[in-house]
């Protein structure tokens, strides 16, 4: 896990090397029964979702939303914060809004917004006469 996080940071610092780290295993580890797996994967995913890649956020929502919300409610703030940031990104909030909600202690509204199903664009129906 540490090595993969280091690779992710290296990729971010050296974009010219075009290193692509898939988030799949970090997302799957959000559902682990092992605390360190969950904590470390949340920290890695904070870095991997910084660009708000829609595919990554969609996979995170699909495969680990329940774990993200659960972890964001943890009483130890240091371990809850990474999951809270992920929840804020899933809710579509800007970084400043996520930070303000955290400082204000308003976790519930962010978690509620993250848990709400995203509205799909309305597709017009074809009318036949």
User: Tokens representing 18?
Assistant: 């075009």
Q: Is the pLDDT of residue 126 over 60?
A: no
For residue 58, the enclosing domain spans: 23-115
Total domains in the chain come to 1
Q: Is residue 6 part of a domain?
A: no
Measured CA to CA, the distance from residue 89 to residue 93 in angstroms comes to: 6
What's the predicted TM-score (pTM) here?
0.83
pLDDT-derived band at 122 (thresholds 50, 70, 90) equals very low
At residue 1, the 3 state secondary structure works out as coil
* Residue 16 within any structural domain of the chain: no
CA-wise closest residue to 39 among 29, 24, 50: 29
* Residue 88 is assigned to a structural domain of this protein: yes
Q: Tens of pLDDT along 52-99? A: 999 999 999 999 999 999 999 999 999 999 999 999 999 999 999 999
* Within-domain flag for 8: no
Secondary structure (DSSP) of 19-68 = -----HHHHHHTT-SSHHHHHHHHHHHHHHTTT--HHHHHHHHHHHHHHH
Angle between helices 77-90 and 107-115 (to 10 degrees): 40
Report if residue 14 sits inside a domain.
no
């Amino acid at each position: 896990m540490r090595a993969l996080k280091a690779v992710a940071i290296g990729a971010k610092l050296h974009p010219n090397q075009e290193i692509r780290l898939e988030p799949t295993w970090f997302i799957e580890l959000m559902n682990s029964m092992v605390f360190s797996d969950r904590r470390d994967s949340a920290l890695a995913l904070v870095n991997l979702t910084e660009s708000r890649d829609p595919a990554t956020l969609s996979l995170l929502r699909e495969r680990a939303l329940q774990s993200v919300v659960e972890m964001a409610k943890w009483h130890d703030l240091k371990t809850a914060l990474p999951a809270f940031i992920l929840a804020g990104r899933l809710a579509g909030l800007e970084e400043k809004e996520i930070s303000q909600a955290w400082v204000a202690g308003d976790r519930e509204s962010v978690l509620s917004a993250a848990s709400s199903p995203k509205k799909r664009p309305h597709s017009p129906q074809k009318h036949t006469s």
